[in-house]
Amino acid sequence: MTSIELINPADETVLRSVTHTTLAEVDDAILHAVSAQREWAALAPAERAAGLRRFAAAVDGAVEELAMLEVANSGHPISQARWEAGHVRDVLTYYSAAPERMLGSTIPVAGGIDVTFLEPVGVVGIIVPWNFPMTIAAWGFAPALAAGNAVVLKPAEWTPLTALRLAELALEAGLPEGLFQTLPGRGDVVGERFVSNENVRKIVFTGSTATGKKVMAGCAHQVKAVTLELGGKSANVVFADADLEKAAAAAPYSVFENAGQDCCARSRILVERSVLDRFLELLEPAVAGVKVGPVTDESTEMGPLVAKAHFDKVASYVPDDDQVAFRGSAPTGPGFWFPPTVLLPTSRTDRVVTDEIFGPVVSVLPFDDEADAIALANDSIYGLSGSIWTRDVGRAIRVSRAIESGNLSVNSNSSVRYSTPFGGFKQSGLGRELGPDAATAFTETKNVFISTD
């Protein structure tokens, strides 16, 4: 396949086709990136900072355009897509402060002075999934560029449009040619070449755990640095002493946003058994209230699934009504629409409880006490995010420390802020993105001893 036809997930119309990058073109682009990186790293830190601020300004000027591309290509509701484009601008702005703050240390030693430098790794290959095409790309490219690297970016096959536009905006903002290139194409062609090309010195991979393992094994051949952001099956733990009204009203948005195609989705709601019935009574109207509909409507909260193949995968988890407690609504007719669906599984080992469905399907499970809640939350190969609802401060702290997960929130479901670290425990990933230290993750520490003799 040398090109791909993009389908609008909301109505199944053909958008356009995008030509895939060939292996030879990938190698050429990486060579181009090698020379652009040298030019970029040689600039004064303040000049690189200014370049990133201009890039942020260019994105700011294109928020509406980027948002409309995501609406058409990925089926994201317009208000969400605008937030995503604004988030890319904010991530660039945040990391534009980094070039002038790449601080090394001075270390007391005998016979001279010892200093460390944070050297850019060189060319960074960023491979992203289709669920949040522009925001996840920005989590990689903004700190990588800030640390003095060049970036080659491979968008997912289904959703390349915003990534292609972002690379144009970087050029329009005056970043050196070749410094930030988007190379659309297949994972087993372009993505694998990023891994095997020796001029790419670090890979940032976001995607499924299965592919992440392949990428990690490939990186091992060259001892190539790798950051992995993988799958999740996060728990939303509701204790009997919680503000149940608030927890139930918020729960649908912690799993149905982006139609559940969210690595941080709280797709297991664990409820203390004594309040299970009351919680379900409150959850049902909250789920019915999720606005699923036209993606260009400002008030729409949930759109369609991204593609027919993904719709079929999600649907295979709900073959009949056996475990369904209740559903929300979804449009009928063309488009890959799947209604918000709440399951009451009868077993803790059912595949709906253990697998990452990556669609608007949530399982509600009862637990008996704090120890049982922790055990159930941790009974997963994943450990990405999660929530704890309780009015007991001591319990909130105990349970937060006991859950094996990278991003937890108490009496809230928020996971992502560009100023705080993000990443997974166990098979949810390796390394961290975002937060104050992200640019450092794109450097090698060099130690230099200078003799005073």
CB of residue 36 vs ligand NAD: minimum separation in angstroms? 22
**By rule CB under 6 A, what string of x and - marks binding of each residue 413-432 to ligand NAD?**
-----------x---xx---
Helix (H) / strand (E) element for 224: namely none
CB of residue 400 vs ligand NAD: minimum separation in angstroms? 19
- Do the bridges between strand 385-389 and strand 361-367 make them parallel or antiparallel, or are there none, so unpaired? unpaired
**By rule CB under 6 A, what string of x and - marks binding of each residue 379-418 to ligand NAD?**
-----x----------------------------------
229 catalytic, yes or no? yes
Quick one: which of 68, 85, 145, 156 contacts ligand NAD (CB under 6 A)? 156
Structure tokens at 214: 């392949």
Q: Which is nearer to ligand NAD, 218 or 293 (CB)?
A: 218
d(CA 21, CA 192): 12
311 binds ligand NAD (CB under 6 A): no
Q: Which of 70, 157, 219, 263 is catalytic?
A: 263
- Do the bridges between strand 443-451 and strand 112-120 make them parallel or antiparallel, or are there none, so unpaired? antiparallel
What b/e string do you get for 266-294 counting C-beta neighbours within 10 Å, with b at 16 or more? bbbbbbbeebbeebbebbbebbeebebbb
Q: Which is nearer to ligand NAD, 49 or 306 (CB)?
A: 306
335 binds ligand NAD (CB under 6 A): no
**By rule CB under 6 A, what string of x and - marks binding of each residue 233-272 to ligand NAD?**
------------------------------x---------
Residue 212's SS3 state is helix
Quick one: which of 120, 178, 232, 383 contacts ligand NAD (CB under 6 A)? 232
Q: Which of 84, 157, 192, 229 is catalytic?
A: 229
Residue 131's SS3 state is coil
**Quick one: which of 236, 277, 274, 249 has its CA closest to 376?**
236
**Quick one: which of 183, 231, 179, 237 has its CA closest to 208?**
231
Q: Which is nearer to ligand NAD, 192 or 272 (CB)?
A: 192
219 catalytic, yes or no? no
d(CA 14, CA 168): 23
187 binds ligand NAD (CB under 6 A): yes
> What is the torsion angle, in degrees rounded to the nearest 10, for the CA atoms of residue 367, residue 329, residue 305 and residue 69?
-130
231 binds ligand NAD (CB under 6 A): yes
d(CA 18, CA 99): 34
List of residues contacting ligand NAD (CB under 6 A): 127-131, 136, 154, 156-157, 187-188, 191-192, 206-208, 211, 214-215, 229-232, 263, 356, 358, 384, 424, 428-429
Catalytic residues: 229, 263
